[in-house]
Structure 1
Amino acid sequence: MADTLYDRLGGEDAIGAVVDEFYDRVIADEQVAHYFEDVDMQRQRAHQAQFISSVAGGPVEYTGGEMESVHDGMGIDHDDFNAIATHLDDALAEFDVDDNNREAVLKAIDSYRNAIVVAAD
């Protein structure tokens, strides 16, 4: 019986597939694609898979930068954050992740919202 969200998501390979689908959706979205124009997407996909695995309780330690410093100066607002979260939710749904597990992933990601989103003036 799977006892972590990481296990319920299907582990490393399944999370990697979700991340690939997620970034395919993000890059196709004019609203948020510009954030990734000069980004090494292979590296970005690996970091995102590591991050999701880590927050889902997997046997992975996230080694990327601190959320606040990594996103500093990007100008991400709540609409952009929500658009990206929607793409993640849709990617998870594409791989038949059930509602409860999708909600758990999105809740974990949303816990970083304040570190990622620029505070309104």
Structure 2
Amino acid sequence: MSLYDEVGGAAAIDAAVDGFYGKVLADPLLSPLFASMDMTAMRRKQKMFFAAVFKGEANGADGYMRSAHKRLVDDGLIGDAHFDAVALHLQATLEDLSVPGHLVRQIMTAAAGLRNAVLNR
């Protein structure tokens, strides 16, 4: 069974992304980064990304994350503190949704593995 199935499929990912962005947009450190973003499109892209990662179909995730955040890194707008805040919001969202602890740890380990790609290191 894939992680996608274990967390509850599309409905669980929809709930996770919506809850996650609720937390991100309420965070004074992160919300300015999204001020000019089309959040409907962002949610749609994030849902597709999570689904691909959870299904094990995210070949090239590092490259995608690197290119998606390049301008923010180049402009000095994001760093480790931003990555840490996003990770905390993701973990809190998963816990709010009662995702089992072993799955939360698996997801957070995968997220931590994207730090260098997101921060273009």
Same fold (TM over 0.5): yes
Query: Cα offset for 1:118?
Result: 5.1
1:107 aligns to what?
Answer: 109
> Aligned to 1:90, which of 83, 89, 92?
92
The AA in structure 2 aligned to 1:97 is V
Q: Could you list the per-position Cα deviations for residues 32-78 of structure 1 after superposition, in whole angstroms to 9, with x for gaps in the alignment?
A: 111111111011011111111111116x668x982111101213211
Q: Distance in 1 between matches of 2:80 and 2:27?
A: 16
Q: Distance in 1 between matches of 2:11 and 2:106?
A: 19
1:33 aligns to what?
Answer: 31
2:11 aligns to what?
Answer: 13
Q: Distance in 2 between matches of 1:25 and 1:41?
A: 13
The answer to whether the Cα contact below 8 Å between 1:50 and 1:61 also exists between their aligned partners in 2 is: no
5+ residue gaps in structure 1? Answer: none
> Aligned to 2:79, which of 77, 80, 95?
77
The AA in structure 1 aligned to 2:98 is D
Structure number with higher helix proportion:
2
Q: Using the aligned pairs only, state the percent identity.
A: 34
1:116 aligns to what?
Answer: 118
Alignment TM-score, normalising by the size of structure 1: 0.86
Residues matched between the structures, number: 116
5+ residue gaps in structure 2? Answer: none
Q: Distance in 2 between matches of 1:109 and 1:52?
A: 10
Query: In the alignment, is residue 67 of structure 1 matched against residue 65 of structure 2?
Result: yes
The AA in structure 1 aligned to 2:23 is R
The AA in structure 1 aligned to 2:115 is R
2:2 aligns to what?
Answer: 4
Query: In the alignment, is residue 50 of structure 1 matched against residue 48 of structure 2?
Result: yes
